[in-house]
Amino acid sequence: MKVKVSYRGQTLELEFEGERVRVGELLKALGLSREYAFVVKGEDVLEEKDTIVDGESVRVINAISGGYI
Amino acid sequence: MVYLSQHRLSLCKEHYIEWYLKRVESTIKEFRMFERKDKVLVAVSGGKDSLSLWDALQRLGYRAEGLYIDLGIGEYSQRSRLACERFARERGLELYVLELRKEIATIPEIKEVESRPACSFCGQLKRYYMNRFAREKSYHVIATGHNLDDESATLLSNVLSWNMGYLSRQFPVLLEGDGFVRKVKPLVKFTEKENALYAFLSGIEYVEEECPFSEGASSIEYKRILSQIEEKSPGTKLRFYMDFLRRLHPLLRSEKVNLRPCRVCGEPTSAEVCSVCRLRERLSSRLLSSSPSS
């Protein structure tokens, strides 16, 4: 299955096995932690256990930022 | 629904916004940051933290106006400035823009004469111009969007090097005096994710892109390490920072620094000429040496 992901101004197409993928797995595939990133679909914030199905588009927001200390 | 692991809370959009605003208000009161009669200058960058802060202060009924410092970092600065201008226009708020290009030079220009990391002198310049602007315009307080991740990463870095001077100055309120305007950080109890969630749920359009000069920054590494601990033990970051403020900070004595007005610009400094004026001198001498002789 394929999911379109909008992430920091880019559109990525990610492929997963099966018919659905959990939000937590999607974050993991992008190398992100739920501690600082989350997934939104339309106007809704998805929970970690929520699933995304083939062909859906989501946006991933990575909140981590920073400079030198 | 939004789940906040360190608070063990599941909230819908309306209740999340309500929870966030209450927590901003209680933080302002807990640290006696300012009152409703005070004129607050919010330092905005166009990012999620500072715009969420400005939005929250406005919703809570505080007299908050914005200052955006245009650093002249190409498209990144252009996008950030537009985000701040749009935010202010849509809400009918006052935004001041100060251009570094007109005051001294842009960050990329300064980088050519400076060996320090850009974040280091950029932070220094922002603090200098923010303070001068706020004092000249009679603001009582400068509010910045520093969050729990910034503060806990800074704390970890300061503890790893036992930098007692920095540790004694790490507090969400720095009182006014000696030419300095009071500085406060009302978002210190919020993680970056909580601020990003507030911005998203409130429809705030902020710049997600990172400053090109912050690539490979040490604070991001510390933040990642802390988030790994947080994942296994929710609430660690908040406890690490708040217990530092409650238990250790009161025991630290801040060294008295003798400040005097800079001989050139009059801003407070511990040296005869402040670091910004010294930088300006370096920039002018470079300009003179690179100009063709007549």
Which residues are registered as beta bridge partners of B182?
A: B141
**pLDDT average, residue stretch B203-223:** 86
Q: What is the ipTM of this complex?
A: 0.93
- Distance, in Å, from the CA atom of B188 to the CA atom of B190, rounded to the nearest integer, reads 6
Residue B228 touches partner A, C-beta closer than 8 Å: yes
**How far B293 CA sits from the closest chain A CA (Å)?**
39
Does the CA dihedral B113-B119-B124-B125 come out positive or negative?
Answer: positive
Question: A14: how many CB neighbours lie within 10 A of its CB?
Answer: 18
Q: Which of residues 3-62 of A touch B (CB under 8 A)?
A: 8-9, 33-38, 40, 45, 47-48, 61-62
- pLDDT over 60 (residue B216): yes
Residue B2 touches partner A, C-beta closer than 8 Å: yes
- For residue range B165-195, list pLDDT tens digits in order: 999 999 999 999 989 999 999 999 999 999 9
What residues in A contact B48, CB-CB < 8 Å?
63
* Count of A-B CB contacts under 8 Å: 85
**How far A61 CA sits from the closest chain B CA (Å)?**
8
Find out whether B185 and B174 touch, Cβ atoms under 8 Å: no
- What pLDDT score does B293 carry? 53
- What pLDDT score does B102 carry? 97
- What pLDDT score does A67 carry? 59
Average per-residue pLDDT in chain B?
93
Which residues are registered as beta bridge partners of B97?
A: B68
C-alpha dihedral (B276, B117, B186, B232), degrees to nearest 10:
-170
pLDDT band at B285 (very low <50, low <70, confident <90, very high): confident
Contact A69 B220 (CB under 8 A): no
pTM of the model: 0.93
Which stretch of A9-13, B78-82, B157-161, B216-220 has the lowest confidence by average pLDDT? B216-220
- pLDDT over 60 (residue A69): no
**How far B294 CA sits from the closest chain A CA (Å)?**
42
Find out whether B47 and B214 touch, Cβ atoms under 8 Å: no
B233-255 core/surface letters (b: 16 or more CB in 10 A; e: else)? eeebbbebbeebbeeeeeeeeee
- Distance, in Å, from the CA atom of B45 to the CA atom of B281, rounded to the nearest integer, reads 27
Which domains are delineated in chain B? 2-207+217-255 (3.40.50.620), 257-294 (no CATH)
- For residue range B223-253, list pLDDT tens digits in order: 989 999 999 999 999 999 999 999 999 999 8
What's the residue count for chain B? Answer: 294
- Distance, in Å, from the CA atom of A8 to the CA atom of B232, rounded to the nearest integer, reads 27
**pLDDT average, residue stretch B50-79:** 97
B54-to-B13, B41, B86 alpha-carbon distances in Å? 19, 9, 13
Question: B106: how many CB neighbours lie within 10 A of its CB?
Answer: 17
pLDDT band at A68 (very low <50, low <70, confident <90, very high): low
pLDDT band at B294 (very low <50, low <70, confident <90, very high): very low
Contact B227 A45 (CB under 8 A): no
pLDDT band at A64 (very low <50, low <70, confident <90, very high): confident
- pLDDT over 60 (residue A1): yes
The two three-digit tokens of residue B270, written as one number: 């511990």
- What pLDDT score does B74 carry? 95
- For residue range A24-59, list pLDDT tens digits in order: 999 999 999 888 999 999 999 999 889 999 989 999
What residues in A contact B211, CB-CB < 8 Å?
67
- Distance, in Å, from the CA atom of B264 to the CA atom of B276, rounded to the nearest integer, reads 10
Pairing of strands A2-7, A57-62: parallel
Selection from B174, B107, B98 nearest residue B143 by Cα: B174
- pLDDT over 80 (residue B261): yes
Find out whether B51 and B44 touch, Cβ atoms under 8 Å: yes
**How far B160 CA sits from the closest chain A CA (Å)?**
12
What residues in A contact B200, CB-CB < 8 Å?
40, 45, 61
- pLDDT over 80 (residue A66): no
What residues in A contact B210, CB-CB < 8 Å?
65
